[in-house]
């Protein structure tokens, strides 16, 4: 009888197709959910600063609601609960919607904080230069807000990737679901889950390092084009002049 702990008692080459399928589904869930959550989060963040009070209160209520209930609860409501009222979703759609709703709330708070970090006098100076509201957001606010939002956004990306493992509860065929199947077939849960944990690490660690590299590049001003940097300097100069009363 073989020892319980030893070098690879599981026939991993036999399970490589299952592992590859799990990785593919995990990455698809991550990419699509994060893209949609970013768009949704930005909309909610802009809504929080809107002058239209119903939209502002909706955004506030949404972020408070989804920040304070567990994501597993959302997954069950979307996949099982909606079916009770006649809305049947597939596992992929239910998984994406759950992740978007949950991480959209956190990204909205990150984006809102980043947008509010841009000094108000810069916006006033931009308006004085004839900029429209859209141009102010595009050329003045967003280039600066990105630097502030990037660290938190990158953290949310890594966290979202790891949270796809919770979709095992609806049999979404992602990596953790494949791990459960392999463990139940081989009766080697220790080995299986250690290997799967290593695969998650190999997926998450490069993302963390890449986000750190991008953050350093943005801190150096590489992300701004020369024209945009000149524009920002002129706005900052006008803003400073207004504050000192020399404009």
Instruction: Tell whether the model's pLDDT for residue 158 goes beyond 50.
Output: yes
Residue extents of the structural domains in the chain: 12-244
100: Cβ contacts below 8 Å, ≥ 6 apart = 33, 36, 37, 40
Instruction: Tell whether the model's pLDDT for residue 149 goes beyond 90.
Output: no
Q: Confidence band (pLDDT; 50, 70, 90) for 219? A: low
What pLDDT was estimated at residue 246? 56
49: Cβ contacts below 8 Å, ≥ 6 apart = 56, 112, 115, 116
pLDDT higher at 78 or 11: 78
Q: Confidence band (pLDDT; 50, 70, 90) for 91? A: very high
Interval 74-84 mean pLDDT:
93
* CB-based burial, 72-110: b 16+ in 10 Å, e otherwise: eebbeebbeeeeeeeeebebbebbbbbbbbbbbbbbbbb
| pLDDT single digits (tens) 123-137 | 677 777 777 777 777
Cα 178 from Cα 233, distance rounded (Å) = 53
74: Cβ contacts below 8 Å, ≥ 6 apart = 66, 98, 101, 102
Give the predicted TM-score (pTM) of the model: 0.81
Q: Which CATH architecture has domain 12-244?
A: Orthogonal Bundle (1.10)
Cα 40 from Cα 36, distance rounded (Å) = 6
What pLDDT was estimated at residue 226? 60
What pLDDT was estimated at residue 6? 47
């Amino acid at each position: 009888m073989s020892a319980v702990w030893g070098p690879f008692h599981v026939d991993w080459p036999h399970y490589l197709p299952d592992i590859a399928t799990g990785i593919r589904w995990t990455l698809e869930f991550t990419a699509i959910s994060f893209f949609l959550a970013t768009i949704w989060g930005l909309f909610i963040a802009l809504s929080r600063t809107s002058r239209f009070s119903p939209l502002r209160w909706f955004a506030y209520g949404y972020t408070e609601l989804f920040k304070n209930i567990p994501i597993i609860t959302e997954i069950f409501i979307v996949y099982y609960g909606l079916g009770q009222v006649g809305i049947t979703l597939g596992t992929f759609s239910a998984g994406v919607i759950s992740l978007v709703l949950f991480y959209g709330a956190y990204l909205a708070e990150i984006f809102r904080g980043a947008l509010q970090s841009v000094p108000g006098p810069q916006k006033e100076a931009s308006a004085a230069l004839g900029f429209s509201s859209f141009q102010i957001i595009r050329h003045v606010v967003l280039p600066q807000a990105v630097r502030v939002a990037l660290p938190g956004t990158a953290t949310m990306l890594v966290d979202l990737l790891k949270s796809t493992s919770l979709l095992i509860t609806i049999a979404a065929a992602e990596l953790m679901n494949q791990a459960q199947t392999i463990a139940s077939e081989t009766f080697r849960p220790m080995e299986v889950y250690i290997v799967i944990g290593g695969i998650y690490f190999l997926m998450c660690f490069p993302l963390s390092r890449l986000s750190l590299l991008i953050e350093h590049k943005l801190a150096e001003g590489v992300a701004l084009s020369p024209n945009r940097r000149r524009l920002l300097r002129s706005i900052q100069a006008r803003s400073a002049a207004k504050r000192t009363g020399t404009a």
